[in-house]
């Protein structure tokens, strides 16, 4: 069997989908030495994934969200004589005639009115129209839809009941071993390079509206106001700057919190482990999450997690995290207060988190995906 994987979210700077894609592909390489794979990545990708000999990496200049994806990209796929196309995002060529699998993480593009914000009106309208056409067309064209969570599966089935019977849930994973305690020399190096504060909450991700950073900033400010004894607490963020970044940074400056909020652009994988290791808690009260890999990365590192009651986060975090209403500032403040006023809570959350991550491994993800490929062509 010859399988094409469209993984073009693997590019110069990774998104959550890019991280998911690279981990899945590496896991497939470890679990499947029989089938042949052609993996399409973006031309800007400079990574060096650990791939087996039955994998071929092909670079393509088109962005995943583009007219080429739903139009002419099928020509590149057909030239490799593949049996199955698996798109690691919910867009596939409309004229592709072969077996098709599409992975869907969330329905933000259809449900979140701010998803296409930060653009000129005409461009925003064009993106909205693109998503309203391309997502449903992809769902109906695919032989199977892989959903990253039960929450996303239920959303797809609710809005597109005609495709409900072909949705399968395959959670993401985490390599718990790679998130072991960093070496002291690495901790010291990262500490010096980034001038990390002694005490901080940690966030990693984008500044898209669904990440809820404005509300989290309001709650952080209110918590500091109510608890002056926490005067040395900071909030450290690792961000991939996007079109929403300027508005968030302006809000930080407006609140006069520049000395308490530390922002860094994307860091290396080894550096990221140090951020997790040094933090006091992952501050991740977001919305519309289709999975939430940072939750598992934090728990694998032994870092307590505060997440939200929204979308897939309760499903992924299990009973190991503090969950707050992402739309209520007081709920988030209350979560921070609970964490910092209960001395026994931290160790309980760490232990529960280490147990929780055992449910999610990339090996398990790869085996489930391979079984789907085999079933599709049986």
Is the domain of 355 the same as that of 365?
A: no
pTM of structure: 0.94
Residue 14 backbone dihedrals phi, psi, to 5 degrees: -75, 140
**Residue 177: what pLDDT?**
75
Is the domain of 163 the same as that of 188?
A: no
**Residue 14: what pLDDT?**
65
State the DSSP string of 44-112. T--------TTEEEEEE-S-SSSHHHHTTHHHHHHTTT-SEEEESSS---TT--SEEEEEE---HHHH-
Is the domain of 299 the same as that of 186?
A: yes
Q: Give me the number of domains the chain comprises.
A: 2
Domain range enclosing 232: 176-359
For residue 308, what is the DSSP state?
A: E
Pairing of strands 281-283, 199-205: parallel
Residue 137 backbone dihedrals phi, psi, to 5 degrees: -65, -40
| Burial class of residue 157 in the structure, from the number of CB atoms within 10 Å of its CB (0-12 exposed, 13-18 middle, 19+ buried) | middle
Is the domain of 161 the same as that of 195?
A: no
Tens digit of pLDDT per residue, the chain (378 long)? 999 999 999 987 668 899 999 999 999 999 999 999 999 999 999 888 888 899 999 999 999 999 999 999 999 999 999 999 999 999 999 999 999 999 999 999 999 999 999 999 999 999 999 999 999 999 999 999 999 999 999 999 999 999 999 999 999 999 877 777 889 999 999 999 999 999 999 999 999 999 999 999 999 999 999 999 999 999 999 998 889 999 999 999 999 999 999 999 888 888 999 999 999 999 999 999 999 999 999 999 999 999 999 999 999 999 999 999 999 999 999 999 999 999 899 999 999 999 999 999 999 999 999 999 999 988
Is the domain of 168 the same as that of 38?
A: yes
CA–CA dist 288, 311 (Å, integer): 5
Is the domain of 127 the same as that of 62?
A: yes
Is the domain of 72 the same as that of 213?
A: no
**Residue 51: what pLDDT?**
87
Helix residue ranges, H only, the chain: 16-31, 67-70, 73-78, 108-111, 121-141, 150-159, 184-194, 213-226, 245-254, 269-278, 293-300, 313-317, 329-341, 345-356, 362-376
Is the domain of 259 the same as that of 218?
A: yes
CA–CA dist 102, 41 (Å, integer): 16
**Residue 49: what pLDDT?**
84
Residue recorded with tokens 């593009």: 109
Q: Could you tell me if 310 and 326 are in contact, meaning their C-beta atoms sit under 8 angstroms apart?
A: yes
SS3 assignment, position 174: coil
**Residue 94: what pLDDT?**
93
Is the domain of 354 the same as that of 370?
A: no
Is the domain of 194 the same as that of 220?
A: yes
**Residue 40: what pLDDT?**
97
Q: Could you tell me if 61 and 50 are in contact, meaning their C-beta atoms sit under 8 angstroms apart?
A: no
Closest CA to 107 of 151, 141, 143: 151
Is the domain of 203 the same as that of 128?
A: no
Is the domain of 229 the same as that of 129?
A: no
Dihedral sign for Cα atoms in the order 55, 59, 63, 66 = negative
Neighbour tally for 235: CB within 10 Å:
23
Q: What is the CATH number of the domain that holds 71?
A: 3.40.50.2000
- Interaxial angle between packed helices 345-356 and 329-341, expressed in degrees from 0 to 180 and rounded to the nearest 10: 110
**Residue 89: what pLDDT?**
96
């Amino acid at each position: 069997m010859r399988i094409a994987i469209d993984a073009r979210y693997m590019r110069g700077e990774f998104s959550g989908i890019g991280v998911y894609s690279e981990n899945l592909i590496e896991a497939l390489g470890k679990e499947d030495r029989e089938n042949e794979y052609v993996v399409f990545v973006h031309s800007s990708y400079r990574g060096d994934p650990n791939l087996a000999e039955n994998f071929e990496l092909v670079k393509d200049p088109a962005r995943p969200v583009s007219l080429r994806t739903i139009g002419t990209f099928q020509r590149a796929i057909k030239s490799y004589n593949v049996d199955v196309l698996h798109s690691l995002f919910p867009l596939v060529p409309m004229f592709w005639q072969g077996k098709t699998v599409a992975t869907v993480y969330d329905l933000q593009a259809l449900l979140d009115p701010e998803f296409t914000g930060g653009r000129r009106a005409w461009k925003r309208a064009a993106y909205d129209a693109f998503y309203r056409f391309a997502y449903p067309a992809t769902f109906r064209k695919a032989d199977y839809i892989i959903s990253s969570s039960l929450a996303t599966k239920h959303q797809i089935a609710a809005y597109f009941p005609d495709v409900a019977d072909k949705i399968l849930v395959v959670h993401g994973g985490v390599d718990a071993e790679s998130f072991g305690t960093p070496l002291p020399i690495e901790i010291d190096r990262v500490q010096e390079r980034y001038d990390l504060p002694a005490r901080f909450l940690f966030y990693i991700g984008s500044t898209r509206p669904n990440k809820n950073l404005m509300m989290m900033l309001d709650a952080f400010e209110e918590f500091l106001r109510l608890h002056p004894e926490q005067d040395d607490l900071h909030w450290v963020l690792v961000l991939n700057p996007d079109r929403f970044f300027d508005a968030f940074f302006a809000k930080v400056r407006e609140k006069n919190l520049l000395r308490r909020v530390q922002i860094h652009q994307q860091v290396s994988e080894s550096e990221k482990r140090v951020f997790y290791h040094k933090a006091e808690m992952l501050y991740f009260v977001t919305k519309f999450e289709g999975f939430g890999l940072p939750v598992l990365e934090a728990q694998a590192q032994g870092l307590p997690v505060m997440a939200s009651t929204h979308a897939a986060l309760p499903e992924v975090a299990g009973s190991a995290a503090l969950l707050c209403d992402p739309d209520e500032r007081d709920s988030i403040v209350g979560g921070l207060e609970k964490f910092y006023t209960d001395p026994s809570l931290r160790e309980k959350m760490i232990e529960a988190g280490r147990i929780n991550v055992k449910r999610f491994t990339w090996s398990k993800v790869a085996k489930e995906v391979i079984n789907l490929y085999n079933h599709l062509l049986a």
